[in-house]
Amino acid sequence: MNKFQILLSGTSGGPRWDAAALFIARGFGSGLLPKAPGTWGSVAAMLAAALVFMPLPVWLRLLLLVPLTLAGVWAAARAEILLGRHDASEIVVDEWLGLWLTYAAFPSLGWLDLLAGFLLFRFFDIIKPGPIGTLQHLPGGWGVMADDLAAGVAAGVLLALMRALS
């Protein structure tokens, strides 16, 4: 196993890294909210997208999604080990990055478009149609992240179609 594979497998770098992994995996605390943490994590991701992600140029958003996704895979894998559960409900980094992927290719989005993207993303994330559902069976952090990233792509495509038809 090379260093990159070890990093993404959820290995620990010590207590500080474990705390960082849990903080990231829990969506900066949004996954700790009671009842429907995935929805709360997505709401937090939508608000953060409006404030810090969408003001960036499209090329930078797309570029940032690569290291953010790798960090999410690591954090989710490590959190699963620390929490002792696969895809624990408090792990919402996948919702954050899936929703940000929904928005990433649009030059700008108003609040109604952000809300529509949120609703479309949650639909695909909860229902997990077709191959989206099979992706959650991948090992480790990839299994946590991949289905939400696919849901984000599906939601983004549908949002683009809706915007084109309006």
Q: What is the residue-level pLDDT of the chain in tens, covering all 166 positions?
A: 444 454 455 556 678 899 999 999 999 999 999 899 999 999 999 999 999 999 999 999 999 999 999 999 999 999 999 999 988 999 999 999 999 999 999 999 999 999 999 999 999 999 999 999 999 999 999 999 999 999 999 999 999 999 999 9
Does residue 23 lie within any of the structural domains?
no
Asked whether residue 8 is assigned to any structural domain, the reply reads no
Is 17 part of any domain? no
> Is residue 58 a part of any domain in this protein?
yes
Q: Is residue 19 part of a domain?
A: no
pLDDT value for 19: 92
What's the domain range around 126? Answer: 37-165
Token code pair at residue 160: 């683009």
The pTM (predicted TM-score) of the whole model is 0.91
On whether residue 5 sits in a domain, the answer given is no
Q: Structural domain tally of the chain?
A: 1
Does residue 129 lie in a domain region?
Answer: yes
Q: Which pairs from 31-39 meet CB under 8 Å and 24+ separation?
A: 31/89, 31/90, 31/91, 31/92, 31/93, 32/90, 37/89, 37/90, 37/92, 38/89, 38/92, 38/95, 38/122, 38/125, 38/126, 39/122
The two tokens of residue 69 are: 């996704």
